[in-house]
Copies of this chain bind each other. A is one copy, B any other.
Amino acid sequence: MKKILLASTSTIYGGTYLSYLQEELAVFFANVDEILFVPYAQPSGVSYDEYTQIAQKGFESIGKKIVGLHTFENPKEAIHQAKAIFTGGGNTFLLVTRLYQFDLMGTLREVIESGIPYFGTSAGSNIAGLTMQTTNDMPIIYPPSFDTLGVVPFNLNPHYLDPDPDSKHKGETRETRIKEFHKLNDTPVVGLREGSSILFESNRFILKGTLTARIFLKDKEPFEATNEDFSSLFKQMDR
Measured CB to CB, the residues of A under 8 A from B are 9, 11-14, 43-45, 90-91, 93-94, 132-142, 145-146, 158-159, 161, 168-172, 177-181, 183-185, 194
B43 touches A183 (CB 8 A): yes
Measured between beta carbons, the chain B residues less than 8 angstroms from A136 are 138, 171-172
**Set B45, B137, B138, B181: member contacting A140, Cβ < 8 A:** B181
| CB nearest to A178 among chain B residues | B138
A140 touches B180 (CB 8 A): yes
B170 touches A9 (CB 8 A): yes
Interface of A is mostly: loop
Q: A43-B184, A45-B183 known; A170 and B13 CB under 8 Å?
A: yes
Measured between beta carbons, the chain B residues less than 8 angstroms from A172 are 136-137
A133 touches B139 (CB 8 A): yes
B183 touches A140 (CB 8 A): yes
B138 touches A134 (CB 8 A): yes
- Determine how close the nearest CB of chain B comes to the CB of A105; give it in whole angstroms: 15
Write 27 A-B pairs (CB below 8 A) sorted by A numbering: A9-B171, A11-B170, A13-B169, A14-B168, A45-B179, A45-B183, A90-B180, A91-B180, A93-B139, A94-B180, A133-B139, A133-B140, A134-B138, A135-B139, A136-B138, A137-B177, A138-B178, A138-B181, A139-B139, A140-B181, A140-B185, A142-B145, A158-B171, A159-B171, A161-B169, A161-B171, A168-B194
Report the bound CA distance from A94 to B172 in whole Å.
Answer: 15
- Determine how close the nearest CB of chain B comes to the CB of A101; give it in whole angstroms: 13
Measured between beta carbons, the chain B residues less than 8 angstroms from A9 are 170-171
Report the bound CA distance from A141 to B133 in whole Å.
Answer: 7
